[in-house]
């Protein structure tokens, strides 16, 4: 054998590396889904480990802004205008919400089942508002309320 399947000079090269494979057609480019998901697996733009330390997905690393409870009713449109409303921003906000929920109820030494009851309550509300009320409209006792 005039060549080994592993690299003798650089051990960080692993099989499947398209830079190393000399064939023209590599089936791995159809199997490798990580490159499509890479966009969703990147750190936020404002994250700097030198300043912020290890990455915490529940934190927002941009400029600090008022909490929704502290903003006045008059400033709400301006506050909403300052938010990042791009798809990536919305996606990152959703991820942060999930991680905040996880840290609030699941990431501790004495977990309980409140996380389950909360999801159950929200799902019940959605079912009630969007599916049960229309079904029960036929059984109303009065027409006008």
Partner 1 sequence: MLAKALRPLVTIKASPLSLTIRPLSISSIFFQDASSKSKKKDDKSLVEKKSDEKVLRVEDSLKDLSSVKWRTEYNGKRLWPHDQWPERDLVNFPPYKLREVPNSVRWYCVPESWFKFFYEKTGVTGPYMFFYGLLIYGFSKEYIVLWYDFTEYLILAAAVITVVKKLGPTVGDVFRGWHQEEVDRYSSVVSNSKAMAGKVLHAYEDSLERAKSIGLLADARKDIINMGLEGAYRERMKQMYEAVKKRLDYQVALQNARKDFERTNMINWITDQVKQSITAKQEQDALQACLQQLRQIAS
List of residues contacting partner 1 (CB under 8 A):
2-3, 7-10, 12-14, 17-20, 22, 24, 26, 29-30, 35-36, 38-39, 42-43, 45, 47-54, 56, 59, 64, 69, 88, 103-112, 114-115, 117-118, 120-121, 133, 136-137, 139-142, 145
CB of 11 to partner 1, least distance (A): 10
Q: Smaller CB distance to partner 1: residue 1 or 81? A: 1
Contact 18, 29 (CB under 8 A): yes
Q: Smaller CB distance to partner 1: residue 74 or 142? A: 142
Q: Smaller CB distance to partner 1: residue 26 or 93? A: 26
Contact 113, 123 (CB under 8 A): no
User: Going by C-beta distance under 8 Å and a sequence separation of 6 or more, which residues neighbour residue 56?
Assistant: 99
**DSSP three-state, residue 99:** helix
Biggest alpha carbon–alpha carbon distance for the chain? 89
CB of 94 to partner 1, least distance (A): 16
CB of 103 to partner 1, least distance (A): 7
Q: Smaller CB distance to partner 1: residue 77 or 135? A: 135
Of 102, 82, 46, residue with least CA distance to 94? 102
Query: Which tokens in the block code for residue 135?
Result: 């079904």
Of 100, 83, 87, residue with least CA distance to 40? 87
CB of 51 to partner 1, least distance (A): 5
């Amino acid at each position: 054998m005039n060549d080994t399947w592993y690299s003798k000079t650089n051990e960080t090269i692993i099989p499947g590396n398209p830079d190393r494979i000399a064939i023209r057609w590599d089936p791995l480019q159809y199997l490798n889904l990580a490159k499509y998901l890479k966009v969703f697996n990147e750190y936020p733009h404002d994250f700097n480990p030198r300043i912020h330390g290890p990455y915490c997905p529940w934190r927002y690393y941009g400029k600090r802004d008022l909490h929704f409870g502290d903003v006045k009713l008059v400033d709400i449109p301006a506050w909403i205008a300052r938010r990042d409303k791009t798809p990536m921003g919305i996606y990152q906000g959703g991820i942060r919400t999930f991680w905040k929920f996880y840290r609030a109820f699941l990431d501790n030494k004495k977990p309980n089942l409140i996380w389950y009851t909360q999801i159950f309550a929200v799902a019940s509300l959605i079912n009630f508002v969007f599916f049960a009320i229309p079904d029960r409209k036929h059984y109303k006792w009065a027409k006008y309320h």
